[in-house]
Amino acid sequence: MSLMREEALQAPQAAARLLGEGAGAVAQLVQHLVQAPPRAVLTVARGSSDHAAHYLAYLAMAHLGVLVTSLPMSLVTLYSARIQRDGLLALGFSQSGQSPDLVAPMRWFSEGGAHSVAIVNDAASPLAQASRWVMPLHAGPERSVAATKSFLCQLVAGAYLVATWQAQRDGERSLLQALGSLPEAMAKAAALDWSAALPLLQDAQRLMVIGRGTGLAVAMEAALKLKETCAIQAEAFSAAEVQHGPMALVDDGYPMLVFAPRGPAQPGLLALAAQMRARGAKVLLAAPPDVKEALLPLAASGHEELDAITTAQSFYGLAEALARARGLDPDAPRHLAKVTRTH
Amino acid sequence: MSLMREEALQAPQAAARLLGEGAGAVAQLVQHLVQAPPRAVLTVARGSSDHAAHYLAYLAMAHLGVLVTSLPMSLVTLYSARIQRDGLLALGFSQSGQSPDLVAPMRWFSEGGAHSVAIVNDAASPLAQASRWVMPLHAGPERSVAATKSFLCQLVAGAYLVATWQAQRDGERSLLQALGSLPEAMAKAAALDWSAALPLLQDAQRLMVIGRGTGLAVAMEAALKLKETCAIQAEAFSAAEVQHGPMALVDDGYPMLVFAPRGPAQPGLLALAAQMRARGAKVLLAAPPDVKEALLPLAASGHEELDAITTAQSFYGLAEALARARGLDPDAPRHLAKVTRTH
């Protein structure tokens, strides 16, 4: 079994650890945030971690009404932007917590009086040390180059933070309560069979992944993983954005992976899938079993907005199997494992 | 001559109109913003307009130190997020100002007491009517489906707003002064010869466009235009982000378009170009003439951070010529309409 598959299958247990052992860290942080509400919220992240940051941002804006800015790190590392730091909440997402271009901005925010939080797998990492608060991911050691369980734990951590904050601030506990059964739903999602997608994507060179709302972050993650592990040039779009240009690419047989979990964005996603199918696209629709056109089943969690997490869990099984079906080693993405230094 | 080419060549004159006839609108808005500084800034846009919003966001964060949030419109149209609206500055970018999914959030912000600003070509459009302030783009009628001059005017409008705000608030006038000579620099940029790229991209199916800092917005725009007009699956990445996964796609002959104008991001961009070339990628480097590896010349504007605008101006000539070289009509992108109606 590949490391990628092995670690993806560990995610439900890791999520349970995060929701159990991680309770103290999130409670302490949220108590502080409720007492001294931040003036603004920003995220600092790259790659898969940045997709998790997008998920948190969407949830925070939808559930808490706070605006969240995705910080271009070059503003701090290259441009010395004079951002007023006190009263900010700066959330840094990383698996390893090692990347200097992440550590530098987080240290800079800490020094300027921001509430800086490292949402990180290695709680002893430089990123954790540069931050005033740490939310450890509890994912356990991750050896696969393509992150899986650490990404899923980052999604869970983001939902956990927003849900706890909402419960403490507003007394609204539905998201928090739904998190309790999430590890079980993730285990169900990991067992779902997405192999129907394999023959359809066996020879794909180009692909679009479509999501919306909380699901867009998962489409972004899927597109990156399909690049890394399957060498498919996959790009993510929101169902609205794809109609502003990108669909010029869609012709007969063009493959599109559409994530349409429950929720307010679902009708638009299903309509788009039908429209693209009518145009001749090869639409791979991931949706709950009650959607009759669904090719790839989605498992429901305890809350519509946590279905993004079960969607990602099911997707990883496909990415790993597709890499192997295409003759690639999912544990050895080209150019990513080894470091090449040139001039 | 195609409409796309004709309209792109009108951009320098349009920019001069915006900087002249548009002075009153921006002065009035900025006077208000300096007297009553907004609590937070957000942008509302899709497609090319969203790339212009990214450029403004970067400039505003770098020059004014204010954080800018890119609003997922579905938060308002599908999720009814309870965002506190008074004291916000909401900037809506559009050419036509017709799209209902843009008008609805802007109206909602206006009704809640936000400073809403329509940065729009049609000053009588529904978007303008839904907003408390209007910055007309002065681009003149745009008939090409692939926006060119309206996008360039959106970039100029964003820089004009930030520069005027900075001048009034901080007395720092260098960006504002540099805008005076921008139309001339754009005209020079439009005349530059990028035809060396044509044989290299004649048969490309996949491509990456790399930028950073203020140049990332132009890389995003270039990637979208290459999809729309040339049917190339092009995706934009920051020079930092591409090393976190996407470069698994890069092998012998993989084409990469790298925008490396002057400024603090340039050394990293040149290093990345060299690294990718060493890996066998077909690197098309756009850089000022003093960079000896440059294939595509860039024209300097009066300020490093306005070079993004001259870069976009030069790029449009390539996109139009490449579309024709590939046997496509740049004025008739497949499946696209000028006004997109999504919800």
Chain segment A97-117, per-residue pLDDT in tens: 999 989 999 999 999 999 999
Instruction: Give CA separation, B165 vs A83, A109, B40, B63, B189, in Å.
Output: 16, 25, 15, 9, 27
Which strand ranges, in their side-by-side order, compose the sheet holding A233-238? Answer: A233-238, A206-211, A255-259, A282-287, A296-297
Q: CB A233 to CB B233 under 8 A?
A: yes
- Cβ–Cβ gap B74/A240 under 8 Å: yes
Token pair in block for residue A111: 């020094």
Residues of chain B neighbouring A83 (CB-CB closer than 8 A): 61, 65-67
Q: Does A113 touch chain B (CB under 8 A)?
A: no
A-contacting residues in B 285-324 (Cβ below 8 Å): none
Beta strands B282-287; B296-297: pairing state: parallel
Q: What is the dihedral of CA A78, A84, A87, A93, to 10 degrees?
A: -10
Residue A342 has pLDDT above 50, yes or no: no
- How high is the pLDDT of residue A124? 96
Beta bridge mates, A286:
A259, A296
Q: Which residue of A77, A150, A244, A336 is the best one to mutate when testing the B interface, meaning the one whose CB has the most B CBs within 10 A?
A: A244
Residue B260: its chain A contacts at CB < 8 A? none
In the 8-state DSSP scheme, what is residue B143? -
Instruction: Determine the straight-line distance between the first and last CA of chain A, rounded to whole angstroms.
Output: 38
CB contact under 8 A, B251 and A216: no
Interchain pair A72, B61: CB under 8 A: yes
Q: Which two tokens stand for residue B110?
A: 């206006």
Give the pLDDT score at A244. Answer: 75
| Contact yes or no for B246 and A227 at CB 8 A | yes
Look at residue B176 in the predicted model and tell me its pLDDT: 98
Nearest-angstrom CA–CA distance, B309 and B299: 10
Whether B64 contacts B35, CB under 8 Å: no
Q: Which of B46, B63, B67, B207 best probes binding to A when mutated, by most A CB atoms within 10 angstroms?
A: B67
Chain B contact present for A339, CB below 8 A: no
Contact B278 A340 (CB under 8 A): yes
For residue A209, the distance in angstroms to the closest alpha carbon of chain B comes to 13
Q: With helix as H, strand as E and coil as C, how does A115-163 read?
A: EEEEEECCCCCHHHHCCCEEEECCCCCCCCCCCCHHHHHHHHHHHHHHH
Q: Does A70 touch chain B if contact means CB atoms closer than 8 Å?
A: yes
A248: nearest CB among B63, B238, B334 = B334
Taking the CA of residue A222 and the nearest CA in chain B, the distance in Å comes to: 12
Based on the residue annotation, tell me whether A338 is a catalytic residue of this protein. yes
Q: Which residue of B has its CA nearest to A85?
A: B65
Dihedral sign from CA coordinates of B169, B172, B177, B179: negative
Contacts of B235 in chain A (CB under 8 A): 233, 235
Enumerate residue ranges in chain B where pLDDT < 70: 336-343
Lowest-confidence segment of A269-273, A313-317, B247-251 by average pLDDT: B247-251
The answer to whether A271 faces chain B, any CB pair under 8 Å, is no
Residue-level length of chain A = 343
Which has the closest alpha carbon to B15: B173, B148, B126? B148
Chain B nearest CA to A334, separation (Å) = 5
Record the tokens describing residue A24, joined without a space: 């103290």
Position B131: which residue type?
S
A77 alpha-carbon distance from chain centroid:
25
pLDDT, residue B337, reads 67
Q: What is the model's pLDDT at position B248?
A: 87
Would you call B247 and A336 a contact, using CB atoms and an 8 Å cutoff? yes
A247 is written with which tokens? Answer: 């669909």
Q: Measured between alpha carbons, how far is A88 from A86 in angstroms, rounded to an integer?
A: 6
- Write out A167-235 in H/E/C secondary structure: HHHHCCCHHHHHHCCHHHHHHHHHHCCCHHHHHHHCCCCEEEEEECHHHHHHHHHHHHHHHHHHCCEEE
Name the residue among A42, A36, A39 with its Cα closest to residue A57: A42
DSSP-derived secondary structure letter, B247: G
Set of chain B residues whose Cβ sits within 8 Å of the Cβ of A268 = 78, 342-343
The pLDDT value recorded for residue A341 is: 32
- Residue B2, helix vs strand vs coil: coil
What is the C-alpha to C-alpha distance for residues A155 and A306, in angstroms, rounded to an integer? 9
Task: For A146, name the nearest residue in chain B, comparing CA atoms only.
Answer: B245
A40–B40 C-beta distance less than 8 A: yes
Q: Which residues of A touch B75 (CB under 8 A)?
A: 58, 61-62
| CA distances (Å), origin A38, targets A35, A68, A114 | 9, 11, 9
Predicted pLDDT of residue A343: 25
Q: Mind listing the pLDDT tens digit for each residue in A74-90? A: 999 999 898 999 999 99
Residues in Cβ contact with A62 at an 8 Å cutoff, skipping those fewer than 6 apart: A213, A214, A305, B75, B79, B81
**Is this prediction's pTM over 0.95?**
yes
Per-residue confidence (pLDDT) for residue B120, from 0 to 100: 98
Q: Which chain A residues have a beta carbon less than 8 Å from that of B68?
A: 69
Six token digits for residue A56? 């948190």
Whether the Cβ atoms of residue B186 and residue B312 lie closer than 8 Å to each other? no
- Check CB contact under 8 Å for B81 and A72: no
Query: Do residue A48 and residue B245 have CB atoms under 8 angstroms apart?
Result: yes
* Calpha distance A200→A275 (Å, rounded): 19
Residues 236 through 255 of chain B touching chain A, CB cutoff 8 Å: 238, 240-241, 244-251
Q: Which two tokens stand for residue A309?
A: 């997490």
CB atoms within 10 A of CB A292: 7
How many other CB atoms sit within 10 Å of the CB of residue B308? Answer: 28
What pLDDT score was predicted for residue B333?
82
Is 90 exceeded by the pLDDT of residue A300? yes
> A148, A235, A247, A249: best mutation site toward chain B, by most B Cβ within 10 Å?
A249
Question: What's the rounded Cα separation, in Å, for the pair A237 and B46?
Answer: 11
Tell me if chain A has a CB within 8 Å of the CB of B98: no
| pLDDT of the residue at B203 | 96
Whole-number mean pLDDT of chain A?
95
On the question of pLDDT at A142 being above 50, the answer is: yes
Q: Is B48 on the interface with A (CB under 8 A)?
A: yes
The DSSP code sequence of A32-71 is HHHHS--SEEEEE--HHHHHHHHHHHHHHHHHH---EEE-
Cα–Cα distance for residue pair A197/A234, rounded to 1 Å: 15
Query: Which residues in chain B have their CB less than 8 angstroms from residue A47's CB?
Result: 241, 244-245
Tell me the catalytic residues of B.
338
Which two structure tokens, joined as six digits, stand for A95?
Answer: 């698996």
> Is any Cβ of chain A less than 8 angstroms from the Cβ of B338?
no
pLDDT at position A338 is 31
Closest by Cα among B115, B114, B132, B134 to B124: B134
